[in-house]
DNA sequence: CGTTAAGCGAGACGGTACGTCGCGTCTTGCG
DNA sequence: CGCAAGACGCGACGTACCGTCTCGCTTAACG
């Protein structure tokens, strides 16, 4: 997560104050209204210090966001693939549902088309690892015979995450349990999985 | 599409010059770098005139974008639901693939979380009509017995558009025909449609 | 005095507010502590407006200073060259003696070695005209026979202004009447003028 | 010249590197562009070390400048007061004519109005001693009858140095020999000295 | 077939935030 | 323990755009 040049002398307290201030402001004003000036003022930190360690506002929020998302959407294997997918997706839906994370993530996504480096970072740190984890869980289900051997697992994951992003981006957030359950069932069925 | 107060004296040439300049700049610099100042300068139009007719930069681009998207993604009914869905989705993928429309749309989407009015406009003018059209096409297939009567058509449409948005937002655009075909097949299968 | 690009639309009230604020701040804090930010805030004017019409802080103060100096140090011709020189120099001494003009002028002078354009402006607008006026007054005295025909009038003026600047720069300001009188007498005697 | 707290452990090599770097930068960029940061970087010295031994940028340059000026403008007594004054003033003119000393001195002078302590230091170390020396030389000439007993020697010195400063400050440097000669002659004549 | 009010270009204005620079203070670890 | 290295809070820099606001000018509709 460290986007900085290597340094042994970085002030951890400045780092924390910056990340916290950034998320607070994101909640209070919305991503678009957050400014580096305000983060610096709120955190009691100089702008120079922020620019020293992060290339942009989005990078600050990304760091805060990532720290948190990882722990909120675990990937467990209880043997029941449908249940595990529901658990995972429900975690993601819940994270996006609560400020400041939903708005913050929407804001970060919005920068991806203007900032190649950020896009690369987001994919490498946030998207790809979780995507791979999801594929991995499906593969283990496949090995246990719950899913046909020729199923397209990558596509399946995209079909799971896709509607979630679609709704988030268009600000029609998913309404938790019921929606998620139906989505998982449909995706599994599309793979030719045996009905439960 | 006209967001303006009614007027008989509005200059059509200024309108066109503004929209064209906005799209040009979006191609050249990317959405995030487009400014009202630059649009005005490029179009040879005064800032006042732009503010008179549009509430924001996004509204300008939305107008230009919408004009164009509608004609590019028609909804036909050939009797073959899989084929028609592929045709429609392929149109959408192609629009998003070419500058300036992909970047412009990404930019517009990015404003949705900061601008409630724009979000409402986008949903009403752009998203909902096409969503409804897609549901309608599925329903007619349902009536023809190609899809079971209890299928969740709304969810189906979200599963179709979802991956497309997911990929667009994350800047991993879909690679056209093959991807689209597999996606349509999976979604139809998830509805319990008879295999072709 | 107008250092601006030609414009018919310049706001006179902004101009005045800027100049007044600049002089006030110069009095309160001293030249070195005056900042463009503070001038703008005090004057209720945007920084952009200041930068639009003046190239630097010194230029702002120069304009205010010049407006004022010209009227304070008139050159009259009473027929008595010694008396007229005393009148003129005393005016200059007095201007430099009162805040904010003394400190402001010292500040402007201090920029002259870092800012070629300002140096040129100061010489053209402030120094040379008054120098020439002084030479002119001496010449008319020369024509009236009060000064020998071969006297070096340029040098004379430098000998008059020199000590004044010397003292001002080194912050040992002249103590008015007596000092000025002696200086004038010595300079006239150095020219070979008849004693009074 | 040492403005430091007493210390036996001060590094002479740091001192030299600092002074040299300061003068170099003054030549390259002009006084106004010299910064402590740059001096430290150029000298390979930490900022802390500079702040430990000097109170300000001007103090650094003053130390470098003074070291050098003293030796360049000697006061000799050959018995001919006009000649000795010319020698002395010509030395001063020459010092001011060559970078980095002219610009450096102008820079130092410019700080005098913002920095009372520096002003005091400059007067005590640089100005007053040379002023007194000049008065002393005139007095010895007076005792030898070359100058009338009631001549105002202080004023005379100001008339000598004044034009030199006037010209330096306004960046119209004196052109050496001829100018200096005429100035000295006029000042002596103004004192009522016998013509040579 | 003028008159007159609008839309228009130009761009100045008060603002906010930008990203950078240098200040002077401070801490860390090397020699 | 003095030093280099350099992070830190601070605050000003000069720039870019924002959205609002006159200005004259053109220009089409109505009287």
Q: How much of chain C, in percent, has pLDDT values that exceed 90?
A: 47
Question: Gap from D63 CA to E31 C1', in Å?
Answer: 29
The pLDDT tens digits for C100-144 are: 788 788 888 878 877 778 888 899 888 998 899 999 999 999 999
Asked if residue C10 keeps its beta carbon closer than 7 A to nucleic acid strand E, the reply is yes
CA angle D116, D118, D122 (to 5 degrees): 120
User: Which amino acid residue lies closest to nucleotide F27, measuring CA to C1'?
Assistant: B9
* Predicted structure pTM score: 0.80
Interface test with A, best of B113, B164, B185, B191 (most A CBs within 10 A): B113
CB of A15 closer than 8 Å to CB of A53 = yes
Digit-by-digit pLDDT tens for chain D (196 residues) are 444 444 457 788 888 899 989 988 888 887 878 899 999 999 999 999 999 999 888 889 888 888 777 777 777 889 899 999 998 888 888 888 877 778 788 888 878 877 778 888 888 888 998 899 899 999 999 999 899 999 999 999 999 999 999 998 888 877 776 789 999 999 999 998 766 5
Question: Gap from D115 CA to E26 C1', in Å?
Answer: 25
What is the model's pLDDT at position C195? Answer: 63
pLDDT of C152 over the 70 cut:
yes
A176 vs B19: which has the higher pLDDT: B19
Q: Do chains A and C touch (3 or more CB pairs under 8 A)?
A: no
Contact criterion met (CB < 8 Å) for A127 and B170: yes
Residue D70, classed as helix, strand or coil, is helix
Q: How confident is the model at residue C1 (pLDDT cuts 50, 70, 90)?
A: very low
* Nearest-angstrom CA–CA distance, B3 and C136: 71
pLDDT of A59 over the 80 cut:
yes
What is the model's pLDDT at position A22? Answer: 93
CB-CB: which of B109, B127, B190 is closest to A187? Answer: B190
Most confident of A159-168, B6-15, D169-178: A159-168
Q: How confident is the model at residue A177 (pLDDT cuts 50, 70, 90)?
A: low
pLDDT of B10 over the 90 cut:
no
Most confident of A37-46, A73-82, D58-67: A37-46
Q: Do chains C and D touch (3 or more CB pairs under 8 A)?
A: yes
What is the model's pLDDT at position D5? Answer: 46
Asked if residue A175 keeps its beta carbon closer than 7 A to nucleic acid strand E, the reply is no
Task: Calculate mean pLDDT across residues A77-91.
Answer: 91
* Nearest-angstrom CA–CA distance, C154 and C133: 11
Interface test with B, best of A110, A121, A122, A178 (most B CBs within 10 A): A110
User: Which amino acid residue lies closest to nucleotide F10, measuring CA to C1'?
Assistant: A46
User: Which amino acid residue lies closest to nucleotide E13, measuring CA to C1'?
Assistant: C49
Q: From the centroid of its chain, how far is CA B169?
A: 13
Contact criterion met (CB < 8 Å) for B169 and A169: yes
Question: Gap from B24 CA to E9 C1', in Å?
Answer: 21
What is the model's pLDDT at position A176? Answer: 73
CB-CB: which of C123, C167, C190 is closest to D189? Answer: C190
At C73, list the tokens.
């140090």
Question: Gap from D8 CA to E31 C1', in Å?
Answer: 18
pLDDT of C3 over the 80 cut:
no
The pLDDT tens digits for B70-98 are: 777 777 899 899 999 998 888 888 888 87
Q: Could you report how far apart the first and last alpha carbons of chain A are, in Å? A: 40
Name the residue with tokens 């002398």.
A9
Task: Calculate mean pLDDT across residues C52-66.
Answer: 91
Contact criterion met (CB < 8 Å) for A163 and B167: no
Q: For residue B195, with 0-12 CB atoms within 10 Å meaning exposed, 13-18 middle and 19 or more buried, which class applies? A: exposed
Task: Calculate mean pLDDT across residues C68-75.
Answer: 77
* Nearest-angstrom CA–CA distance, D8 and C139: 64
Asked if residue A56 keeps its beta carbon closer than 7 A to nucleic acid strand E, the reply is yes
What is the model's pLDDT at position D39? Answer: 93
């Amino acid at each position: 997560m460290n986007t900085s040049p290597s340094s042994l002398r970085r002030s951890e307290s400045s780092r924390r104050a910056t990340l916290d201030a950034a998320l607070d402001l994101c909640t209070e004003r919305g991503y678009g209204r957050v400014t580096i000036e305000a983060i610096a003022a709120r955190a009691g930190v100089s702008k120079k210090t922020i620019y020293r360690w992060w290339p942009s506002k989005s990078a600050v929020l990304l760091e805060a966001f990532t720290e948190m998302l990882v722990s909120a959407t675990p990937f467990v294997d209880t043997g029941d693939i449908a249940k595990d997918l529901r658990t995972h997706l429900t975690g993601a839906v819940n994270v996006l549902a609560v400020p400041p994370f939903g708005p913050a993530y929407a804001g970060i996504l919005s920068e991806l088309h203007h900032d190649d480096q950020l896009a690369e970072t987001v994919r490498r740190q946030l998207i790809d690892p979780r995507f791979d984890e999801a594929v991995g869980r499906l593969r283990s289900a496949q090995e246990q015979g719950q899913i046909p051997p020729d199923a397209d697992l990558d596509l399946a994951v995209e079909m799971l995450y896709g509607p979630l992003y679609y709704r988030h981006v268009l600000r029609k957030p998913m309404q938790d349990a019921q929606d998620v359950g139906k989505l998982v069932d449909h995706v599994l069925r599309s793979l030719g999985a045996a009905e439960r």
